[in-house]
Chain A
């Protein structure tokens, strides 16, 4: 009896999980499918699911009209650069909060996180002016810095949680063994936290890659990443759903592939500390 009840449960859970998964994935699937339709089929009513004339024409047009590689390259530099820069800054910060906490450590952590609750548009104006003054507008360096700053609270928080799991005695042992602070962080803490650092890295590359508000507002042509590339196809010159979809597919493909290959790492990273 008990056995059949659990089997039934399993079936229900599995079905529910698949439904949720498909619901989440459906918009992405639809975008990918639409990118292979003609413009007429893309807006057909009722919508066509699979039964259309598959074409690569949209991709051809998109490649012809815009310099995809340049957008891609900007995205890679901005997402990768802001993440690496963020981690370099966050490792010492998280180290000090995890291993030499003060009375205010918890407050500082919460305060950092609270900056994420601020609507980004609230600081657009001052940052825009700053960028003009500093000559950072439409530069990859400027965007790298801004994205690093907005993701820094998350990077610090994630690293802090991983570091908290490392027993302090091991670091003390390193100190007793004659390691300087730099050697302690470099030879002991960082290698032990590699799984945590890797998932932090992945998550932040994804966040930075998908970031649209700052990348759209602070770039024009030179430093524009893939978000701007997509946006350029939702233009007032008319509705080109198929081409927009092709551009979107091209923009999300790299990060989708990265996510696919690292999903195990991502899941274990995001549930770290929760299952133990």
Chain B
């Protein structure tokens, strides 16, 4: 069981308040992702939940019990760090055994759990090696192994994949998602990568400057961003946002349209522009269109092929039912 509740939690370093009063509930078994640009306080928030940082005011409850002043060792949470933070002087086996040793789990039970974890994480052949002799991906698995054997109330991941190369990252992303499906334990995952957030999360918490900008499922955030920040942050490539006359036409201060919701034609359309760079991904093509008179660059996503050469004239038509409208404060008009 691992429901985590934050109640009016704040954090200041000296005079600088990095987390203004914040309320958040993470339900038991949920995969929650904290996402935001670097410096938005997402890692600090995770460390507050872990107990590695003291909160300045407010309360944290784990499983309905107040944990505000409980030391990290006693919160029953497991954490996977960005740097893996393995114990370099211990073998993989001893690394994984460490939390159980601290908890006083009987030897044969320790052995059973280590073997089960090693099997699940493909580490059986490496149990007697030191972390220094492993690759990045293997080290990450050891860190996860060390977290799962203690059967925690919740897992905390602090940008665990950012040190891995792109191919491994996709693989580990799937492994972590599968782990969550299998264990059904609460997981909190911090990342600055919105692709990770979209693909893994049950619930995404978008943070900016310590404030929660929006909480919702990946598709809620994609379809109904609460403000221009979330609209611009979630989705890849980014949503096109325009101010000015074009927006006023739709009764808004700012309008947004995602690259995939713009129709392209060589002969007619709402906006006229000139083709800049076209990025061909095979399945999709992203075309950057300039000289539309709206903003510097409009990104358009088209499936399949279109003979769009650099410098060609092109017509763009937004799908009006997919248009996002925002008021002067940047909040969505519904």
Contacts and interface: CB of A to CB of B under 8 A. Distances in A.
Given A192-B88, A192-B89, A178 B73 contact: yes
B85 A167 contact: yes
B287 interface: no
B333 interface: no
B81 A173 contact: yes
Interface in A219-274: none
B52 A175 contact: yes
B99 A177 contact: yes
Interface residues of B, number: 24
Interface string B126-158: 000000000000000000001000100000100
B286 interface: no
B103 A178 contact: yes
Contacts of A194: 89
Contacts of B98: 174, 177, 179, 187
A192 B72 CA distance: 22
A139 B161 CA distance: 60
B87 A176 contact: no
Interface in B73-90: 73-74, 77-79, 81-83, 85-89
A177 to B, nearest CB: 4
B89 A179 contact: no
B237 interface: no
A177 B102 contact: yes
Secondary structure at the A interface, as helix, strand, loop or mixed, is helix
A191 interface: yes
Nearest to B99: A177
Given A172-B52, A191-B89, A192-B89, A178 B83 contact: no
Contact of A176 (B73, B86, B88, B103): B73
A170 interface: yes
Place the interface of chain A in its size category: 10 to 19
A7 B30 CA distance: 67
A170 B87 contact: yes
A176 B147 CA distance: 9
B71 interface: yes
A173 B143 CA distance: 10
A176 B89 contact: no
Nearest to A178: B102
Given A169-B83, A172-B52, A177 B89 contact: no
Interface in B27-72: 50, 52, 71-72
Nearest to A193: B89
A194 B89 CA distance: 10
Interface of A: 167, 169-170, 172-180, 183, 187-188, 191-192, 194
7 contacts: A169-B82, A170-B88, A175-B52, A175-B73, A176-B78, A177-B146, A180-B73
